[in-house]
Structure 1
Amino acid sequence: MHLNYLALAVPLFLTFMGLEYLVAHKKGKKYFKFNDSVANISVGIAERLLDVFTVGLFYFVYDYLYRHYALFDIKAGVLLWVALLICTDFIWYWYHRLAHEVTVLWCAHVVHHQSEEFNYTVSARITVFQAFIRTGFWAVLPVIGFPPAMITSMLLVHGLYPFFIHTRTIGNLGILEYILVTPSHHRVHHASNPKYLDKNYGDVFIIWDKLFGTFQKEEEEPVYGLTKPLQSNSFLWQHFHFILEMLYSARAAKGWRSKLKVVFGKPDNVDPEARAVLEETFLLRNSSITETPKLNNYVVWQIATTLTLLFLFILLEHYTPVFIEICITLLILLTLINCGAILEQKRWVFYLEYARYAVLSFAVYYCWPHTEVLCLAALILTTAVYFQSRLRERYYRLVYGYTRT
């Protein structure tokens, strides 16, 4: 069987998250919050899912550049693997630094810094937008002459290491603090303390930060998250809020020079009042949120089911028809939006179930293309619409533990 064993990363990372939770609990440390962890894992699920469609595209880009523009003909060897690791990490440093210093790049990277906790779930906060931007930076590697197979293998290894530095359960690592990026260094990077801002951009080696003057040792206790906390569990808002803030600020700016400064200058050029204005239009906060066990259990059930579906989807990628792949992708994304909306206790979350039902019905009909399937699906939908008010009331009781008004 031609299985995609990259699917094993899903249970592997979940295992380490569970172990970290147990260690923190044993130490009496509250390093995890329910809503925060769900939001982190949701972002990670979306990125892993969309990677199925983008990884091949990235390889094609590397292969095309290598075949047409490679300056040198590099062959795999021990020293050249080391050279590739150093080059990859050096490019990462500058990608990461510019992602903090250029507004349009920060739009993609800001999602990684929204969490106000710091644990292994935070490492999952990577978006597909970041993947595209990083590919643009790493496109230098095939032009130098590194073969695409070497590059993709190195990126897998290079991408694994950062997972393990997103933790508060590991303290100072002695002599390694002078060479590698350690959890201590990365805690500084994720902090919003004034002295910690825009520091420690390295991914594997800390030498670049020391060389280019962006190193900061962990001293005072870090305060995690953005300098202006997002305070939202919405899956969509987390992904797009800063893009909207940038566009709002650019539109309000006078003259093309000012507009370009907003987009390509520092994130500080974005109007600090933009978020509040946009929240009034797009976020529609619910000021009476009451967390209940039913709500949490329903979200846990959905996330667990989604993770299982994601694992099977990646594992059996080569055996899944394209239409079913599209249906699974839509179903997972709708579920992630649903979980965020439930945590925000939105009224419209009930209607999202119609969309999930429609996708599921199309998938079933594709697998069993019989008229009876369509008739049954239409009958169920018609009945649901007819008894909508009762179903909505029961739904809110099931999910929120009380009736929404």
Structure 2
Amino acid sequence: MEAYGQILLIAMPAFFVLVLFEKFWGMWKGFDTVPMNDMISSLSSGVTNVTKDVLGLSIVVISYSWLHSKLGFFDIKATWLVYVIAFFVLDFAGYWTHRIAHEYNIFWNNHIIHHSSEEFNLACALRQSISQIVKIFAVFLIPAAILGVPPEVIAVVAPLHLFAQFWYHTRHIGKMGFLEKIIVTPSHHRVHHAINPEYLDKNYGQIFIFWDKWFGTYQEERDDVPAVYGVTRPVQTWNPIKINFMHLWLLIKDAWRTESWRDKLKIWFMPLGWRPADVATKYPVQKIQDVYHFEKYNPELSKGMLVWSFCQLIVLLLLLSYLFGNLAAIGTPGIFFYGGFVFLTVYALTELMDRNPHAWIWEVVKVGYALYFVVATGDWFDLSKVLPGAVSIFVVYLLASVFISLWFSFRKEKLQLAS
């Protein structure tokens, strides 16, 4: 937990700077692929994901350490060759977990957030799941366990493997020559994120593309088929917490509504998109029929609201850095209360961006939640011991936050009445 938090203290600013670099590069080149509202939503999703992971809010059904102790036929040392083998094994496992997430209803809920952006940029790489509560990934590492790859090697290689998937989420890099035959490139991954019929369910590879070529899921990017991004059932929200559970909620409703007991069980394990016939007829859901002619989700936001939303994100990243840098000092249950504030902030922020007329209520709840801890303890999780006077600044921020959120909410209502 603490080690991962320390890694993120370095990784988060690096990713943030790269996301901003891509935006400014696109603006300079006249090809901006990073709309501000999409970027804020994506970064907010990344915030919820890393918070969930650092706090350990998941259940590991089978740990790699247990598999290693039970299945390992060899006792090998952690040499450089072992690290290389572990990297390949992780990528093989990643290919299959990724493919399964796209092919079965029950697993898609854990992955929909990553595909929910209707843009393709570095920021959308940070759209990662908080709904994956039960983790079964270790099952796919059985080959590594049998080979005797030490658990500490997997612990080191896994974050590196994850971070190495960031760079190819961009539209600013074309095809890369001979590398297209070996590694996953931006061209390959643009295909994967596209909803064009020619591109759907292709290119599941995470680092190496040859898995797709070997297992029949490879598709080259075509000049005559420009990629269109998103999901065929558009999410229609900037709120990453809602997106994380919307597919699960649809499955629950469909399972409840169908009159067939067989379908109530069957729906979870059927191919992605399958719905009971009686429910699909009675309760249709919006689905994009023509990928070249649909309106992207883009509620009208003033420049002031966009600037304020970005400022909220910056404050949240600073507060999150304090949490990750002081996990041991804050301790439990404090870190979980702090995590609650992070999630409330993201929810309130993105509800306001969605122009939800009740967004201000979530802001009031967030501020009330934070002020309770400040008043009850006279501090914000010992922040004043690290930065004297910071708690006063934090309280001023909270009061300004709720006031500005109310102003934007009621101003929006007036605009609606005027129209």
How would you bin the TM-score normalised by the shorter chain? 0.7 to 0.9
Q: CA deviation at 1:129?
A: 3.2
Contact residue 397 and residue 403 of structure 1 kept, 8 A: no
152-161 or 353-362, larger mean C-alpha shift: 353-362
Equivalent position amino acid for 1:335 in 2:
T
- Secondary structure, in 3 states, of the residue corresponding to 1:296? helix
Q: Distance in 2 between matches of 1:291 and 1:119?
A: 21
The answer to whether the aligner puts 1:259 opposite 2:264 as a matched pair is yes
Equivalent position amino acid for 1:49 in 2:
T
Q: CA deviation at 1:347?
A: 2.5
Aligned pair partner of 2:205 in 202, 222, 246: 202
The answer to whether the aligner puts 1:249 opposite 2:258 as a matched pair is no
TM-score by length of 1: 0.84
Matches within 5 A, 1:129-208: 129-130=131-132, 132-133=134-135, 135-138=137-140, 140=142, 143-144=145-146, 145-208=148-211
Q: CA deviation at 1:221?
A: 1.2
49-58 or 340-349, larger mean C-alpha shift: 49-58
Equivalent position amino acid for 2:167 in 1:
F
Matches within 5 A, 1:5-404: 5-54=7-56, 61-130=63-132, 132-133=134-135, 135-138=137-140, 140=142, 143-144=145-146, 145-219=148-222, 220-270=225-275, 274=283, 276=285, 290-365=300-375, 367-368=377-378, 395-398=405-408, 401-403=411-413
TM-score by length of 2: 0.81
Q: Distance in 1 between matches of 2:47 and 2:267?
A: 31
Contact residue 298 and residue 399 of structure 1 kept, 8 A: no
288-297 or 339-348, larger mean C-alpha shift: 288-297
Q: Distance in 2 between matches of 1:102 and 1:155?
A: 24
Q: Distance in 2 between matches of 1:313 and 1:79?
A: 36
- Secondary structure, in 3 states, of the residue corresponding to 2:113? helix
- Secondary structure, in 3 states, of the residue corresponding to 2:111? helix
Aligned residue-pair number = 375
Q: Distance in 1 between matches of 2:77 and 2:179?
A: 31
- Secondary structure, in 3 states, of the residue corresponding to 1:322? coil
Alignment RMSD = 3.0
What corresponds to 2:389 in structure 1? Answer: none
Contact residue 97 and residue 137 of structure 2 kept, 8 A: no
Identity of aligned residues (%): 29
Task: String of CA shifts for 1:199-220, please: whole Å, max 9, x gaps.
Answer: 0000000011000110000002
- Secondary structure, in 3 states, of the residue corresponding to 1:8? helix
Contact residue 364 and residue 402 of structure 2 kept, 8 A: no
Structure 2: 5+ residue stretches without partners: 287-296, 380-400
Contact residue 61 and residue 135 of structure 2 kept, 8 A: no
What corresponds to 2:292 in structure 1? Answer: none
Q: Distance in 1 between matches of 2:242 and 2:179?
A: 38
Q: Distance in 2 between matches of 1:20 and 1:393?
A: 33
Structure 1: 5+ residue stretches without partners: 278-286, 370-390
Task: String of CA shifts for 1:241-296, please: whole Å, max 9, x gaps.
Answer: 1111111222233434323331001012136675749xxxxxxxxx9954212321
Q: CA deviation at 1:401?
A: 4.2
Q: CA deviation at 1:229?
A: 2.0
What corresponds to 1:386 in structure 2? Answer: none
Equivalent position amino acid for 1:4 in 2:
Q
Q: CA deviation at 1:400?
A: 6.4
